[in-house]
Chains A and B, each alone.
Chain A
Amino acid sequence: MSDQDTEGTPETGSRPVRVFLVDDHALFRTGVRAELDHAADTVRVVGEAGSVDEAVAGIAHYRPDVVLLDVHMPDGGGAEVLRRVRPNQPEVVFLALSVSDAAEDVIAVIRAGARGYVTKTISGRELAEAVCRVAEGDAVFSPRLAGFVLDAFADRPGAAPIRDPELDLLTPRERDVLRLLARGYAYKEIASELFISVKTVETHVSSVLRKTQLSNRYELSRWASDRRLV
């Protein structure tokens, strides 16, 4: 575990985002820590944990801004950490980080309350960016997560009837933003492609995240229930 000194170096005017790592592979934690150290002025790792219990205790102790959460761990995995931490510390933001690209895993942690999902092959710079973004309250969608959500909200013949249009449908604009995300566009590129501001892109993505977490669309609840998380 790293030192408990919470004061960041005030070079950039704001303190770095304090990150807590949860992953059952020590090797992987070391790698992420080393990569985030390159972005030390914006992101700082304050602690790490290798199991669900350690994670719950560590998050309560260090009170990090962002938790980087592995999806697959013994004893319930990332979703179990989310379930146990969120009632007590709703201010902590979770960013799921996993090698799994299965829809069940991705959708399950999002619905359990994670603010975003990135895969473990992401570069250190992109990871630091994603951490800062969720720390500011935005959502982070990997292209594949965007694809899953588009899939889940697609209008297919024979789909279950829409119960709550507010939650069960995407607006055309949200769909456009998701398509570009799935095509691998960065937020800035999406903004210039759609002639909107980056802030508006972020608003759309956050709105999609909320719908993904709360909607009862069949695909979403099926994927999540495959991991018994609803």
Chain B
Amino acid sequence: MNPDDLLLGFSLAIQPVNLLFAFLGVLLGTIIGALPGIGPSAGVAVLLPVTFGMSPVTAMIMLAGIYYGAMYGGTITSVLINTPGESSSVMTTLDGYQMALKGRAGAALGMAALGSFIAGTLSVVLLMLAAPPLAEWAVTFGPPEYFALMVLGLTTLASLTSGSMLKGLVMALAGLLLGTIGIDVMIGEPRYTFDQVELYDRLDFLPVAVGLFAIGEILFNIYQPVYTDPIKAKLSGLLPTRQDWKDSWGAIARGTVIGFFVGTLPGAGATIASFLAYATERRVSKRADKFGTGVIEGVAAPESANNAASTGALVPLMALGIPGSGTTAVMLGALTLYGLQPGPLLMSTHPEVFWGLVASMYVGNVMLLILNLPLAPAFASVLRIPYSVLIPIILGIALFGVYSVENSVFNVGVAILFGGIGFVMRMYAYPAAPLVLALVLGPMLEKALRQSMQMSLGSVDIFFTRPVSAAILIFALVSLFYPLLLALWARRRDRALAGAS
């Protein structure tokens, strides 16, 4: 890296017009992220025409701002109303919503903003220093490696939620089954679609998640109120404490690293990143049994990871012209519209675009922190409203969000159906997170498995002869059996001690 490049970048980023559009981008991003439904990729696409008259640098600054801004905003509904707006915020609901029930929504949101800021800024450093070599590394990930990564994800799935592991497993399997609905990617044959054209493209994540989480929770609250009183805490009590910070900094650091590297992989993305970060935190934590009851590191880890992943996804986009996520695919299209040719040469032929963007992301993350920290208690105060008043508002926002993604009434029906299912699941303490995550991971796992099998013409050797996939699979096995081995070892030691005495 040449320091002059960064200087060029900052000279562009601090121009008033670029500052203004960076601010507009992150502000719109926060709003888009906060609304369930309109995700960053739709947000970027809808606002694309607005950028037509701008210079490419300004336009990219604004679009990227929407993208990473949405990762900040996505936390809000997950924590406050148990509704993940995107699949990358499912993990946040687990502890975030529990914190809200305990009156600590402000702390959760504040820590999410802090974690996102740290993760966002550190990932920009990585993007700036090492984009080209990282992109080369990312494309070496082929189907066998993605398969191994998905297996690693799935092995931790059942143990993710507190409570019965058996129930978690059942839900994960149900999710995998639901994930087989739709047109088979390899041979183009419809499965379990019953001639409904809306089902050809799989069951969407959002209506299922909104149904199971938001609507199921509302129905359960009507049946058996969880929120007895509106929260009465003072505003000052709504910020993270020194202890919260102590509990979270490790999670933020690990979440950043996991999120960034997983984010650079074109076939993985923010969902897997947030998921692995949460699972990792649970593994290394001294209070693993408290996860799912409202521990702050359970919010900090996935929120840092999804933010780092959104920056990571810019690595293959800027260095090779290969989009690593739905949103970066839209940004790739945008670059073409501005008359730029995204590809390996972009960084040398148009250094101002890359460096202007990098510099603006440092600025944008600061803006987001300033925007989101004071907003945390403000949003948290929403819960001061009596629950009976909140219910119709939450329902309205949730169903509108579901409709708006694909302008689809069918999906509204799906959300209501899964709302009923979610209510029954909630009554009998079946966790929803393993189901929706398996719904997202299942098709990715299936695709990677079948691509690998096609590559090797049916031989499973391909998973073990490729070093990276072999290493990840072995790690998955160890992490699956490690708790078991530990328990065995402890029992043997106890017996030995008992024998000695």
**A and B interact:** no
Residues of A within 8 A of B (CB): none
